């Protein structure tokens, strides 16, 4: 399983076997070498000419004299420092800080590695170009000849949309409830009370008395 813990990453780095340490020593090639060899990176070897690209010794160029795979350091010819007692020591440089400017091609196995990498890169580039060409062909529309266009059947006239007004009116008529016939309100008649009848009786009695008096005076 892969892990992102720093302690485990360091442990794997310092306990790695030689075939994995060999890959850690890969360094980029100079632009001129990259064009001529068709390779971007290669593991450094003794006899390669490299240039330091980072650190205190940036810009220094020289041949590799020793490769220490145990400590992950390379030693370049001419890059030394003096100790207090006057002795000189080679300064170790990490392979990630250098760029290969000249390759040592004495080893036939290294030449075969370069050929194999160059062929693999060419195959990848050709496959990418073929895929791009196929996409362009698919994007272009295929034009049909005029004869095929003439033979095509005439398009049917589009059906007119049906009017929805009549349907709406019908639905509205159905939805409205039937109106009830209007009822004539009867006038409320006041009921005769006993008081009104008594008043009328009194008035009639008075009128009768007056009439009786008038008749008696007329007889006299």
Reported as a single tens digit per residue, the pLDDT across 149-187 is 556 566 666 666 565 555 655 565 565 555 565 665 556
Q: Which of 50-59, 87-96, 187-196, 197-206 has the weakest average pLDDT?
A: 187-196
Distance CA 30, CA 51 (A): 9
Q: Which two tokens stand for residue 159?
A: 């059906």
176 domain residue, yes or no: no
Shared domain check, 80 and 126: no
Residues 6 or more apart in contact with residue 66 via CB below 8 angstroms:
46, 74, 75, 90
Reported as a single tens digit per residue, the pLDDT across 3-26 is 899 999 999 999 999 999 999 999
Shared domain check, 54 and 30: yes
Q: Is the pLDDT of residue 84 over 90?
A: yes
**Mean local confidence (pLDDT), 90-97:** 96
Q: Which two tokens stand for residue 150?
A: 């003439």
16 domain residue, yes or no: yes
Buried b (16+ CB within 10 A) or exposed e, 189-201: eeeeeeeeeeeee
CA distances from 202 to 117, 196, 206, 215 (A): 143, 10, 6, 20
Q: Which of 65-74, 141-150, 208-217 has the weakest average pLDDT?
A: 141-150
pLDDT at residue 197, rounded to an integer? 73
Geometric angle at alpha carbon 18, from 14 and 24, rounded to 5°: 70
DSSP 26-55: EEEBPHHHHHHH--SEEE--TT-EEEE-SS
Shared domain check, 41 and 129: no
Shared domain check, 42 and 114: no
Q: Is the pLDDT of residue 137 over 60?
A: yes
Number of structural domains (the chain) is: 2
Distance CA 184, CA 103 (A): 121
Shared domain check, 116 and 91: no
Q: Which two tokens stand for residue 75?
A: 């030693």
Q: Which of 68-77, 109-118, 196-205 has the highest mean pLDDT?
A: 68-77
Shared domain check, 88 and 15: yes
pLDDT at residue 88, rounded to an integer? 95
The DSSP bridge pattern shows strands 88-93 and 73-82 to be antiparallel
Range of the domain at 111: 107-136
218 domain residue, yes or no: no
Distance CA 158, CA 141 (A): 28
Distance CA 192, CA 111 (A): 138
Whole-number average pLDDT of the chain: 82
128 domain residue, yes or no: yes
38 domain residue, yes or no: yes
CATH number at residue 35: 2.30.30.30
pLDDT at residue 48, rounded to an integer? 96
Going by the DSSP 8-state scheme, the letter that residue 77 receives in this structure is E
Distance CA 93, CA 80 (A): 11
Contact present, 30 and 100 (Cβ < 8 Å): yes
Shared domain check, 94 and 12: yes
Shared domain check, 23 and 63: yes
Shared domain check, 91 and 11: yes
Shared domain check, 54 and 118: no
Geometric angle at alpha carbon 43, from 40 and 49, rounded to 5°: 85
């Amino acid at each position: 399983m892969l892990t992102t813990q720093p302690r485990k990453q360091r442990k794997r780095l310092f306990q790695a076997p030689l075939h994995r340490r060999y890959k850690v020593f890969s360094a980029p090639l100079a632009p001129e070498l990259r064009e001529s060899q068709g390779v971007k990176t290669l593991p450094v070897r003794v006899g390669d000419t490299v240039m330091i690209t980072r650190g205190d010794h940036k810009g220094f160029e020289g041949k590799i004299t020793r490769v220490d795979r145990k400590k992950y350091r390379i030693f370049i010819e001419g890059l030394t420092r003096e100790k207090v007692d006057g002795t000189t020591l080679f300064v170790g440089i990490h392979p990630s800080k250098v760029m290969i400017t000249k390759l040592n091609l004495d080893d036939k196995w290294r030449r075969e590695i370069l050929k194999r990498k160059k062929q693999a890169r060419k195959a990848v580039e050709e496959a990418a170009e073929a895929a791009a060409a196929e996409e362009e062909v698919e994007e272009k529309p295929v034009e049909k000849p005029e004869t095929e266009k003439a033979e095509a059947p005439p398009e049917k006239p589009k059906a007119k949309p049906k009017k929805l007004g009549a349907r709406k009116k019908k639905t509205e008529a159905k939805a409205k409830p039937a109106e009830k016939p209007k009822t004539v309100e009867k006038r409320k008649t006041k009921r005769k009370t006993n008081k009104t009848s008594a008043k009328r009786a009194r008035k009639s009695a008075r009128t009768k008395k007056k009439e009786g008096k008038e008749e008696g005076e007329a007889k006299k």
